[in-house]
A and B are shown apart, each in its own frame.
Chain A
């Protein structure tokens, strides 16, 4: 593989500001409570979102036609826009790997059960992947750009890239970017059969110590309002994003990481905190072990999937985490960060991979 091409790809360097967030996750994150002061542990291998009372955000007449994932997405988006003080974002871009599974399952089940008779339209309409973004646009009466990415472990990163390009192109001054994925009984059953999840019973908070196969299932709806001008209340700056697909080995991965930093005129010495996407699956966590023996040898790393669970768009949770850490300068105790007594955390690198296939890097810095 030609070195020149290998490293000059997926590079987008542009200053943008995380103005607001909205996050529904398996932790107490919605409604902007104190930052991860009360972590929630789950037994078994399935985490479930802690959901708000949707009637506070959505008209009852509209709720009736929204399945759970749509409510989650809409509420998280509304919270984000409220915090950002924006009624109509310049664009709405969403990322979801699985789409609206509940509706898909309902329609499919009825279809096979009744042999294609007596089917109703609501589940079908709600199953289309852009429904969440479309519903947000509809509620806001927003005629602006609206897109939906559905590419597995790159769904959120693609949405983020689209939003970043829109800001860079100067077409809009802010964009609403979000990631949404859910687990349903059906999807959990199927993914369990595929061997994704832990079989032993233990607490979700302890998955990194297990050394066993499998991870824990997660879900979430996480939205960001990104702007190309700073404001007094920004969380952090999003400095850069890079994705790479099916790298050939640890050398290539390290190469991507170092080059990414180099393009931002940084070296690993400048990074205060590294957030990695360990998911408790001994097999897929090997990469992080390797990195911690090599380029991350002297870095402090923390992990998040014992809080969010594993799902294709979990990087959004990592970005939410980084944004909050950058704003407060401190790392919450639940992350067991060894470098707490040192200086405030200013520059954060996020590195995640999903099933060895989709790798992403994000650079976040304090404003």
Chain B
């Protein structure tokens, strides 16, 4: 998950934020990191670029990107399916 945090920071250009600052279960949107709808779209690209996972329905976004843990779980689940 710490790799994922580093990637998120890079993709969203979160200056002054270190991976340690992001809690595993901390809400990413609205509160917590305060991300918004454009960040959600950026994270969709991150999934595709780094993990080859396509989230074709933007509505799934809020659930998948709720926290770093939910993202990690989604990635593990979908990568497993590919095998």
Contacts and interface: CB of A to CB of B under 8 A. Distances in A.
A/B touching: CB–CB < 8 A:
yes
Contacts of B41: 120-121
Main secondary structure of the interface of A (DSSP, over half): helix
A119 interface: yes
B15 to A, nearest CB: 5
Contacts of B45: 118-120
Interface string A58-88: 0011011100000000000000000000000
A65 B38 contact: yes
A252 to B, nearest CB: 50
Given A60-B15, A60-B16, A121 B42 contact: yes
Contacts of A119: 45
Interface in B35-49: 38, 41-42, 45, 48-49
A128 interface: no
Contact of B12 (A60, A63, A64, A118): A64
Contacts, number: 25
Interface in A166-222: none
Contacts of B15: 60, 63-64
Interface residues of B, number: 13
B13 interface: yes
A141 B19 CA distance: 32
Contact of A118 (B14, B16, B34, B48): B48
Contacts of A63: 15
A122 B34 CA distance: 16
10 contacts: A60-B16, A61-B34, A64-B12, A64-B14, A64-B15, A65-B38, A118-B45, A119-B45, A120-B45, A121-B41
Given A119-B45, A120-B41, A121-B42, 20 more contacts: A60-B15, A60-B16, A61-B34, A63-B15, A64-B12, A64-B13, A64-B14, A65-B13, A65-B38, A118-B48, A118-B49, A120-B11, A120-B42, A120-B45, A121-B38, A121-B41, A122-B13, A122-B38, A122-B42, A125-B38
* Nearest 7 A/B pairs, CB to CB: A64-B13, A121-B41, A120-B45, A118-B49, A120-B42, A64-B15, A60-B16
